[in-house]
Structure 1
Amino acid sequence: MMQEDELIEGDFTFRAVLVGLLVGLVLCMTNIYFGLQTGWVSMMSLQSALLGFAIFKFLPLVPRLFPSSKPLTPQENVVLQTTAVATGTMPLAAGLVGIIPALGMMTMKEDGRDPIVLSYWSLVLWCLAVAFFGVFLAAPLRRQVIVKEKLVFPSGTATAQLISLLHKTPLPSERSTYRSAGSTAYRRLPRTSRSQSPPAERSRLSGEEVRLDGVEKDSEVMSGQGWWALGWSFVASGALTVLSFLFPFIFSIPIFDVLGIPFGTSLAANWMWWLTPSLSYVGQGIIMGFPVTISMNVGMVVGWAVLSPLSKHLGWAPGPVSSTTEGARGWILWVALAIMIAESIISLLPITISYLTVVYRHYTQRSTGPKIFARSSSPRQSSETEDDDYYDPLSDHEDDDPEVEPAERLVPGSWIKSGLVASAVLGVGLVWLVFGKDGIHPWATAVGLVLASMLSLIGVRALGETDLNPVSGIGKISQLLFAVLQPGNVVANIIAGGVAEAGAQQAGDLMQDLKTGHLLRASPRSQFYGQMIGSLASVFVATAGYKFYTSTYVIPGPQFAVPSAGIWLNLARLLNNGHLPLHVVPFMISFGIVFGVIAALKAFKHNLPASSSPWLVRSINYLPSGIAFAVGFLNSPSFSIARLIGGYIAYRASKSSPTGETPLLAIVVASGFVLGEGVLSIVTLTMASAGVGAVSCYGCGLGGGGYCSGGC
């Protein structure tokens, strides 16, 4: 047990929160840019820690602002990145890259009402309605899933390891070992005495240890060349972004038109096949990893090279290929939706079954005893501590990973109870105020919040074990339910899904941050403060950023297709007496079944008999990810191709690494690529809003043109 004098104090500081807000502002605008473009939004925990540390290390202005301050501590960096993540992820939590654009895409013909375009202040009220409920949901789950069960939370653990490398301090709480990490490229996971992972996962965690030489090598990277790599990759990506704004042809190279010559067509102008050499999407591919980008590109080939021409030539999608209503893009979107729903539901099953089984078993065991709430009898705890103890469905034994933090560093239970009630009442009232009687009924919003509470338990557990928060599946489950509770109302269906998704997504994000803080002994209460401050600030930052983009660009349009909005709106329409495009149903059923089976094989592979062939287990690992496969349908080919390039770079780099993982230097370069385009997109947005357009549209007319974005 950690003693009082060993606890590191002073992690919640003005400078950590201030810099966290500044970093979060950058991440928020970056996520709006990428979210509107491809639906891709990231926590960016690693990037937050990197940027925050770099600001204190290299900017000469910081010592002048804080002349008597000590160097940034690891615990301050935890609070910094927690604040930044809370600020940066609001575009997804508030649906600014999904449900809000979807409401603006409604039509009188399809939905029986005009589109809903919220003013700035209405959008602020909506963001306030969903900004805090998930924060209060996460706090009481910490003791169960992090302290007692020691779930991995891979991204949170990776961020803790990176912070420890930046500050040249070992993780104080747990021994660690390297392992291969799938789509999360850099990770160092804790060895625990009692794993809650499935058997197959446990064997993987403990069976791939390598020499700790990698730690020294990573420390050297972050002491010198890593910072140069981050700077140069940022500059290169940012410069290419500005150059492509001035000369749009750079990001719309019709290189595939050569393949269309025998057919007398321009693949770029007519079929949306062009090359976008975006370094940011190359960086995303490095972070995603090779297997994910392969799945994405297989989906891209099936969707855009097979199903799109098929639906067009057979007259099932007679409109322009780029149209989401009458064109091939809208037709294949339905197939992608079927894949995502099938995989989301099947993937949630093992987590749901496991959780409900454990809860039921221990409930029946306790039903004969007098104790329902687990209490600690540690002498260091006062009566205030009782407010910090939460219902524990697993065990009430004192020696089962007891709480290591004193009461004054925890979030009091009274805060959580009152916060949940207050944020729920605030949410119900503000949603009613914004959308009125034609939107969603107050009781329906309340049901959505209850659903978010239940599904967030499953989502947090899935995130802790797999690094995947199934928020898209949670949102769709909510939509399915509300098609029954409030039928015939597309607006209510979309809003209900958004409310449930927001709560689950925020709870998951905060839990990753709490895992980072737990490993580095940061105060959970300080992180809670950072999350609340970041969420409040992001209400205004994210709203301003979204309105800035929508006032400058046509959304959806050639540059910002908003694929997530199409998914939300089309499912809502279908569930509310809508109709499907011609002949798409057999394809939806076929692809749904295939990827449902694949998801089941992956989810239950640990239940295979011990006598099963190792080849069979390995083969299951090589099956494509359904979500990534579907994203290949949703995004135009250029984005998937750029990510594949990055995935291949990660693969080659991992082959030359002694750990078998993507080296830290590659992750640093990828972070620079992503941040470079994201930050400089703010500059190009400002230029566009000021009336500055392309310097030259040369090349945009090749093959019929019409595919350059920007001012052409």
Structure 2
Amino acid sequence: MDPAASTSSREDGDTSESHHAQDDDFTLRAVLAGLLIGCLLAFTNLYLGLQSGWISIMSLQSSLLGFALFRVIPRQINLVGRRFVLMSSPFTPQENVLVQTTAAAVGVMPLSAGLVGVIPALKKLTWDKDGSGPIDLDFLQLLGWCFALAYFGVFFASPLREPMIVREKLTFPSGTATAQLIGVLHNKPLLTQRASTARGFRRRSHALDEAEAGEEDDERTALLSSQHRPASSDRDQNEAEASDRDNAGVDAISGSKGWKALAWAFSGSAGFTVLSYYIPVLYAMPLFDFLPPHNLAAMWGFWFTPSLNYIGQGIIMGLPTTVSMTAGALVGWAVLSPLAYYQGWAPGHPLDSETGSKGWILWISLAIMCSESIVGLAALVASNGLRDLKSWTARKYDRAGGRDQGDEDVDVDHEPAHRQTPTSWVVVGLVGSTVVAVVLIYVAFGAEGISPWATLLGIAMASLFAILGIRALGETDLNPVSGIGKISQLIFALVQPGNVVANLIAGGISEAGAMQAGDLMQDYKTGHLVGASPRSQFKGQLIGSTLGIVISSFAYKLYTDAYEIPGPQFPAPTAAVWLNLARLVNRGHLPDKVKLFMIVFGAVFAVSGLIKTLARTKALHDQGTVGNSTAGKIAKLVPSGIAFAVGMLNTPNFSLARLVGGLIAHWYYARNRHRVDAAKTPAALAGIGIIIVASGFVLGEGAASIVTLLLKQNGAQAWTCAGCRGGCGGGCS
């Protein structure tokens, strides 16, 4: 690391920032805040995952909530006559990074540990189809399983920070957006912006003689220090106006108006969720079957669920994704499902996943997921390989010509060694977590489930897949964990043929490694831009994962005690995908006539996935955002195969509410686009108001799900079942 770069990037900071340059950013208050937010995220993601198979990491929302939490904490509190100081110093951007890192580690555990996919799939095993009875882990076994999967992905990721973030400068769009938001919230420029300014001054100084270089140093010091002072009257008027706009943006987010909107959205969503438990028709409104006994539309899953949670998710997803999801629901449930039913290919009730068309169209959904994931991942690897080769050739040419562009092309790692994660931690942790994982998985499932050597092979494969997943996340903002899990299932059909249990476990191991590694690497990107200690983030990730093990296991057991999972109210759709693929690759067979549809839909979305991946990658590489370039427009217009498949997996009510959210977001952005462009609002602030409201919608229902869960366990019944046609929960399910 260039000492001059380190000095220049820090010399403009205030007292608190200088302190963080020397010491670790790790603070107890930030970790506690992250754990608190993370618990809410974990319950929300488990609830969403078991219902529809779609979860959100919500790093940006965690930063918002962390900032809001520290704004409402009083400076001092008086308890039993004693005064305790809670906020002896301001809440810093580096602490905000630690909050969102810790919160995301807790919140993502339901997916990382397979609690929304692999574990429910194990409960659906049958002796005649799988050679094993249902496997229902008790609480201690579930804790052991989660503990086995929680850490090795974290240790995979840590050594990849320097090559992928510092040297290659992968975009990680969500991580970058979170960093920009943190910078706006705290009114601090990102460190990489200051470092690039400093590098510009250093390059200019090489062209000057000693006297001129001295003057240049004075100019550099004056300009860098001015970044923390208000614009003076002799500055350019445009710069002053830009500063005023930034301050206005901070006021809009951190002022009482923004947090009142968050509070109202949270309360409204939570209240409606509890009310819909007692009046289930509010959550399953008939679309076409208004008069009893007509039930034709509900027979095919067509009712409307006005969940503010789903609407909030739709706002966050955006219109293109929600349109793809709704298109999948319509094709699956208005075309393919009736076709299979009336042709006799799936003669059972349409909503029956065993004999009905729900189970029949699941295979088509599986083909779409596999084809787009595998082809898209292969395209991404090939694209990056060609780009890396061109970059290497260009650097070799520049060196041959006597030019060295390394200082311009490589980002500066402004973190000194004592703020980095020690190599000894990574080595010991990787070896230790691998050994522990092999032992705990053997204890939980025995040799009949998966052999210890096969578990070790699965972890080794997970490390390779984690690298692919991280690169995909860095390039496209999508971590293809579902595709990675399915590739592992295909491989393990050869490693332990005929063993469905081993197949599911191996897929879960690979998914966990890719998920944990991608989560931490995205957090590292945020920390790199803000100037947070990687060591601090690493510790926050481990602490968050540890609490996530306990919270997620406890929450899952609460749900399985109160509801049938998979069942009518929590179908756990991804569990069916895992199990059906495991059965297919282990000498299974396909339902009647579905093979042709799988080939056609798989081929279509393999092509669309290839186009979408390449277009999105080019747009992000060229501009740092999908944007409105030609490649960006193509990436937006081509439908998402994964979203299409998820829409097909679920009954239409899950997708229709999300489409409403996508339409609201589109209307909001279109209405405010000219205003934002005219004001030159920073990218991190564009649309932040509606994101705050959407976050309140999502988290409100997640928090209320704890209340309805307790109501269910205590035998609370619906007040009335009037109007119910299908999808009704509470006592009417």
Q: Smaller-chain TM-score range?
A: 0.7 to 0.9
1:145 equivalent in structure 2: 164
1:345 equivalent in structure 2: 374
Alpha-carbon displacement from aligned partner over 1:620-665 (angstroms, at most 9, x marks no partner): 6412111111111012111100000000111111112234786110
Alpha-carbon displacement from aligned partner over 1:182-230 (angstroms, at most 9, x marks no partner): xxxxxxxxx9xxxxxxxxxxxxxxxxxx989874553232123211111
Tell me by how many angstroms 1:673 deviates: 0.4
Q: Is the 8 A contact 2:93 2:530 kept in 1?
A: yes
Q: In the TM superposition, what are the counterparts of 1:56-67 in structure 2 within 5 Å?
A: 56-60=70-74, 66-67=85-86
- The amino acid across from 1:38 in the alignment is S
TM-score of the pair, normalised by structure 2: 0.83
- Bigger drift between 161-170 and 577-586 goes to 161-170
The secondary structure found in structure 1 opposite 2:560 is helix
2:214 equivalent in structure 1: none
Tell me by how many angstroms 1:254 deviates: 1.0
2:88 equivalent in structure 1: 69
1:664 equivalent in structure 2: 688
- The amino acid across from 2:610 in the alignment is A
1:475 equivalent in structure 2: 485
Tell me by how many angstroms 1:399 deviates: 7.9
2:716 equivalent in structure 1: 692
2:659 equivalent in structure 1: 644
Tell me by how many angstroms 1:62 deviates: 7.6
* Structure number with bigger Rg: 2
Q: In the TM superposition, what are the counterparts of 1:263-278 in structure 2 within 5 Å?
A: 266-278=295-307
Alpha-carbon displacement from aligned partner over 1:551-608 (angstroms, at most 9, x marks no partner): 0011111210100101000000001111111110000000001111111222345899
1:332 equivalent in structure 2: 361
1:157 equivalent in structure 2: 176
1:543 equivalent in structure 2: 553
Tell me by how many angstroms 1:698 deviates: 2.0
Q: In the TM superposition, what are the counterparts of 1:44-123 in structure 2 within 5 Å?
A: 44-60=58-74, 66-67=85-86, 69-123=88-142
Aligned residues: 643
Structure 2 residue corresponding to 1:486, chosen from 479, 482, 496: 496
Q: Is the 8 A contact 1:11 1:73 kept in 2?
A: no
- The amino acid across from 1:229 in the alignment is A
User: 1:699, 1:531 → 2: CA distance?
Assistant: 47
Structure 1 residue corresponding to 2:590, chosen from 580, 583, 587: 580
The secondary structure found in structure 2 opposite 1:272 is coil
Structure with more of its chain in helix, by fraction: 2
Q: In the TM superposition, what are the counterparts of 1:155-194 in structure 2 within 5 Å?
A: 155-174=174-193
User: 2:247, 2:145 → 1: CA distance?
Assistant: 48
1:231 equivalent in structure 2: 263
Q: Is the 8 A contact 2:51 2:571 kept in 1?
A: yes
Residues 1:42 and 2:56 aligned together:
yes
Structure 2 residue corresponding to 1:2, chosen from 6, 9, 12: 6
2:28 equivalent in structure 1: 14
1:626 equivalent in structure 2: 641
2:410 equivalent in structure 1: 400
Q: Is the 8 A contact 1:55 1:62 kept in 2?
A: no
Q: Is the 8 A contact 1:275 1:638 kept in 2?
A: yes
Tell me by how many angstroms 1:30 deviates: 0.8
Alpha-carbon displacement from aligned partner over 1:59-85 (angstroms, at most 9, x marks no partner): 459856643522221111111111111
- The amino acid across from 1:290 in the alignment is L
The secondary structure found in structure 2 opposite 1:173 is helix
Q: Over aligned residues, Cα RMSD in angstroms?
A: 2.9
User: 2:264, 2:380 → 1: CA distance?
Assistant: 43
Q: Is the 8 A contact 2:459 2:510 kept in 1?
A: yes
Q: Is the 8 A contact 2:113 2:149 kept in 1?
A: yes
Q: Is the 8 A contact 2:309 2:700 kept in 1?
A: yes
Structure 2 residue corresponding to 1:409, chosen from 411, 419, 438: 419
User: 2:367, 2:633 → 1: CA distance?
Assistant: 26
User: 1:607, 1:250 → 2: CA distance?
Assistant: 44
Q: Is the 8 A contact 1:287 1:670 kept in 2?
A: yes
User: 2:604, 2:384 → 1: CA distance?
Assistant: 26
Alpha-carbon displacement from aligned partner over 1:410-448 (angstroms, at most 9, x marks no partner): 011122122111111111111111110111111111111
Q: Is the 8 A contact 1:350 1:604 kept in 2?
A: yes
2:286 equivalent in structure 1: 254
TM-score of the pair, normalised by structure 1: 0.85
User: 2:632, 2:518 → 1: CA distance?
Assistant: 29
After superposition, the Cα gap between the structure-2 partners of 1:238 and 1:123, relative to the gap in structure 1 and judged at 3 Å, is: same
After superposition, the Cα gap between the structure-2 partners of 1:213 and 1:589, relative to the gap in structure 1 and judged at 3 Å, is: farther
The secondary structure found in structure 2 opposite 1:601 is helix
Q: Is the 8 A contact 1:48 1:84 kept in 2?
A: yes
Q: Is the 8 A contact 2:476 2:613 kept in 1?
A: no
User: 1:212, 1:475 → 2: CA distance?
Assistant: 47
Alpha-carbon displacement from aligned partner over 1:305-328 (angstroms, at most 9, x marks no partner): 000111111111111111111111
Alpha-carbon displacement from aligned partner over 1:469-493 (angstroms, at most 9, x marks no partner): 0111100000000011110000000
The secondary structure found in structure 2 opposite 1:656 is helix
The runs of 4+ residues in structure 1 deviating greater than 6 Å are: 210-214, 358-367, 395-399, 614-617
2:544 equivalent in structure 1: 534
User: 2:389, 2:633 → 1: CA distance?
Assistant: 34
The secondary structure found in structure 1 opposite 2:177 is helix
After superposition, the Cα gap between the structure-2 partners of 1:360 and 1:487, relative to the gap in structure 1 and judged at 3 Å, is: farther
After superposition, the Cα gap between the structure-2 partners of 1:121 and 1:620, relative to the gap in structure 1 and judged at 3 Å, is: closer
User: 2:302, 2:195 → 1: CA distance?
Assistant: 45
2:277 equivalent in structure 1: 245
User: 1:211, 1:582 → 2: CA distance?
Assistant: 64
User: 1:324, 1:105 → 2: CA distance?
Assistant: 12
Q: In the TM superposition, what are the counterparts of 1:199-238 in structure 2 within 5 Å?
A: 215-222=246-253, 223-238=255-270
Tell me by how many angstroms 1:172 deviates: 3.0
User: 2:419, 2:665 → 1: CA distance?
Assistant: 40
Unpaired segments ≥5 residues, structure 1: 178-190, 192-209, 368-394, 609-613
